[in-house]
Structure 1
Amino acid sequence: MTGGVGHAPRLPARLPARLWRGCARGAVLAFALVAGGLSPDVAVAEITGAAYGAPTTAYGHGVVPGGEYQGIEFTLDGTRKIGNAVLGGVYEDTSPRLIDVTGDGKPEVITVVSYFDKGSALRIWGERAAPDHPKGSEMVVLAETAPIGKRHRWLAVIGAADLDGDGHIEIAYIDRPHLAKTLRIWRLEQTARGGRLVEVASKTGLTNHRIGQEFITGGIRECGAGPEIITVDAGWQNVMATRFEAGQIKSRRLGPFSGRGAVHAALSCQG
């Protein structure tokens, strides 16, 4: 199962000062797409952890209690730490997600950035070889969606999997889970200039978060017949299973939404 229902892990109140030195450089780097960034042979270590850090109230949205942060810290090979700050916004999320979205067998990091003037965007981090770096590699942004376009407009990540069985990983999130309630499915593609996220399908009438929740309601399950996206309907009445097949999104009702237990059961293939 990729994604799921649960509370965000406890995060450090602030990242060590050594990780914030040179934040301006890191923040600028975060907006550059990486040429050749999806090549499976460039990583020299493996990302083993990621955590948001340095909580802030600068953005002041508050839909996820305590869920706005100045930066993120990555762990490589279990010991090496790399920090990065956001330029012009915050991380707004429950927790980073380590998922292989390039298909190379190694995890990347899925995050949500919220810009002060343009709202949320999905940002994918990965590791890139850097011969001039003392450690031989650095963390870079592989791709990022365009922001929603307005302050305090958020997206809630569901998860990532090969949803349609074509060998490529798709990433699913709910666009504005309290307003538009729209499922969007994206694919990370490689171009001559680097990686880009391409939207491949969308469907209204689904959601996965209520204002004030510290967790995401839903995820992606695999019960033997291919991946299914688990959410609730827009009115929070029913648990929904959604498939992405042949370029089309198809949803079906699994049963009434009676609370988190109903979603846990669905993710555990009990419904």
Structure 2
Amino acid sequence: MQKKKKHQLFKIRGEISRKVYMITVVATFVGILALWSLLSYGNLVSPTFLPSPGKVWASMVTNVQSGDFWGYVWISFYRVLMGYLITCLLAIPIGILAGTFKIAEAIFVPVTEFIRYMPATAFIPLIIVWIGLGESAKISVIFVGCFFQMVLMVADNAKSVSGELLQASYTLGASRFQVLRKVLFPALLPDLMNTMRLIMGWAWSYLVAAELFATSSGLGFMIMRAQRYMQTEVIFLGILVIGLLGLIIDRLFALMNKKLFPWAEGGR
């Protein structure tokens, strides 16, 4: 029995129990913390480059008591949310069209494929010239970083819907609009939710780039200001807070996916 369990752990796409999964997750985080503690408290790495967990914790306690910190969290969350929502509102319809109609694919996909390889940070000078230095510019950086990726991913989601399912709908007398509304769109929803979940991660990854220029608020600004004064514990704090916010949102997406589409394969 023990041998069978060990074999199951390394079986391709093999299932493991919820208990084993959670123990592995906790052990991984504990291992990372232990390695970090060893390197920092053991003076194997200079505190200038790697602050100890205790120093980062003390920095968090100090910053949490500051109103500025919560203001930075809120404004960063607002920028990510707005960039993400605008991306979804524009990219999802375009992606569905591109994945459904060949003429729409010819219009949108080649151009999108071309632009998506251009780094979003390269557009910052143009965004400043076109939009200025306000909040719209920072939201635009996040939008540019996410939009083109999402169009292609949603198009792939639409293409993955079974052609036989669509043909069966036509055979049963459904019109083109009915097939789109009642068959194709519901069928791609589980994959679409996963795409939205992945793009939210991209949105958070572009946050620091969006807050690099002409800003005096946000977690990215806090990180860049700490870099100037070599406050590495504050840099670590900013990175950890961004990671924690992203993880919470990711888990909410995973939970919604399980509740709304229990039949679809999803992450834990």
The structure with more helix, counted as a fraction of residues: 2
Q: Which has the larger radius of gyration?
A: 2
Q: Shared topology, TM-score over 0.5?
A: no
Which band: TM-score by shorter chain?
under 0.3
> Which structure is higher in RCO with an 8 Å CA cutoff and minimum separation 6?
2
Q: TM-score, normalised by structure 1?
A: 0.21
